[in-house]
């Protein structure tokens, strides 16, 4: 299954708030809950929607998400938490968390267009897995810096997670450590995602 390229609001209306997907607000979250609260959902549908929420938020194909679930299942620690850590440490998501891109799709475009360096080298793979002590900077070109400056200007008071450090003057971010689960920006029950895939196999 390919990556979804349709209207984001269509997915937000069905799945709820996906803050990394778009800067525009759709409706008040309490209003959204009232609209969908009356619909009785099966256990399968609940697990499916949690999986879809995770997939659309991080911009993954079905195959990519399944690959992350399998990697998380082989790692030490709770599978759900490891899965979220793997997704949050992707380069496109780190750029979004730093405020260097307005959305996760915007961050993916920055990376694809070769505007971003990791430890002094161009990385054009959005799924690149960042590690502690990685240094993320804009390419030393006016266009690259202007794109990042526009994003920083649009959200000057955005709180940077504790596992990251931002130097806006030098267009530089530092990964201090693996993300703490409290900083995951998506309200999701990751155990339901793991359950969904465990029942598919």
Q: What is the CATH number of the domain that holds 139?
A: 3.10.290.10
Confidence band for 2, pLDDT divided at 50, 70 and 90: low
Please report whether residue 196 resides in a domain. Answer: yes
Question: Rounded to an integer, what distance in angstroms lies between the CA atom of residue 121 and that of residue 145?
Answer: 16
pLDDT in tens, 125-142: 999 999 999 999 999 999
Tens of pLDDT, residue by residue over 142-196, are: 999 999 999 999 876 678 888 999 999 999 999 999 887 666 767 788 889 988 9
47 domain-assigned: yes
Q: What is the pLDDT of residues 11-39, one digit of tens each?
A: 555 555 555 555 555 444 444 444 545 56
Task: Report the pLDDT value the prediction gives residue 29, as an integer from 0 to 100.
Answer: 47
pLDDT in tens, 92-114: 999 999 999 998 999 999 999 99
Cβ contacts of 37 within 8 Å, gap of 6 or more: none
The confidence score (pLDDT) of residue 27 equals 45
Q: Which pLDDT score is estimated for 132?
A: 95
Domain residue limits at 165: 90-177
In DSSP terms, which residues pair with 122 in a beta bridge?
A: 117
Helix (H) / strand (E) element for 86: namely: helix 79-88
Is 1 within the bounds of a domain? no
Return d(Cα 33, Cα 102) in angstroms, integer: 26
**Residues 70 and 113 reside in one and the same domain:** no
125-128's contacts with Cβ under 8 Å and 24+ in sequence apart are: 125/91, 126/59, 126/90, 126/91, 126/92, 127/64, 127/90, 127/91, 127/92, 128/90, 128/91
Of residues 31 and 89, which shows the higher confidence score? 89
Clarify whether residues 115 and 172 are in a common domain.
Answer: yes
Higher-confidence residue of 49 and 125: namely 125
pLDDT of residue 188: 82
| Residue the block writes with tokens 């938490």 | 81
The mean pLDDT of 75-98, rounded to a whole number, is: 92
Let me know whether 113 and 36 are in one domain: no
C-alpha distances (whole Å) from 108 to each of 47, 48, 101, 119 are 27, 25, 9, 18
Q: Residue 51 pLDDT more than 80?
A: yes
What Å distances lie between residue 157 and 54, 93, 99, 120, 170, CA to CA? 26, 18, 10, 27, 17
Nearest to 136 by CA among 179, 165, 160: 165
Q: What is the pTM of this model?
A: 0.79
Whole-angstrom Cα distance, residue 134 to residue 177?
9
Nearest Cα residue to 187 out of 70, 69, 16, 2: 16
Helix crossing, 190-200 with 62-74: angle to 10°? Answer: 100
In the chain, the number of structural domains is 2
CA distance 21 to 102: 9
Residue 18 CA to residue 196 CA, distance in Å, equals 20
């Amino acid at each position: 299954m390919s990556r979804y390229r349709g209207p984001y609001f269509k997915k937000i209306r069905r799945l709820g708030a996906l803050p990394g997907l778009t800067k525009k607000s759709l409706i008040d979250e309490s209003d959204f809950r009232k609209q969908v609260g009356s619909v009785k959902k099966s256990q399968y549908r609940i697990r499916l929607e949690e999986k879809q929420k995770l997939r659309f938020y991080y911009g993954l194909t079905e195959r990519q998400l399944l690959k992350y679930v399998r990697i998380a299942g082989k790692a030490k620690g709770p599978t759900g938490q490891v899965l979220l850590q793997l997704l949050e440490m992707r380069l496109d998501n780190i750029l979004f968390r730093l405020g260097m891109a307005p959305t996760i799709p915007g961050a993916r475009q920055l990376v694809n267009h070769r505007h971003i360096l990791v430890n002094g080298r161009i990385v054009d793979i959005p799924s690149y897995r960042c590690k502690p002590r990685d240094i993320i900077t804009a390419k030393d070109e006016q266009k690259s810096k202007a794109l990042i400056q526009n994003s920083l200007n649009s959200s000057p008071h955005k709180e940077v997670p504790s596992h990251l450090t931002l130097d806006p003057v030098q267009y530089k971010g530092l990964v201090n450590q693996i993300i703490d689960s409290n900083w995951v920006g998506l309200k999701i029950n990751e155990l339901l995602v793991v359950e969904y895939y465990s029942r598919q196999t």
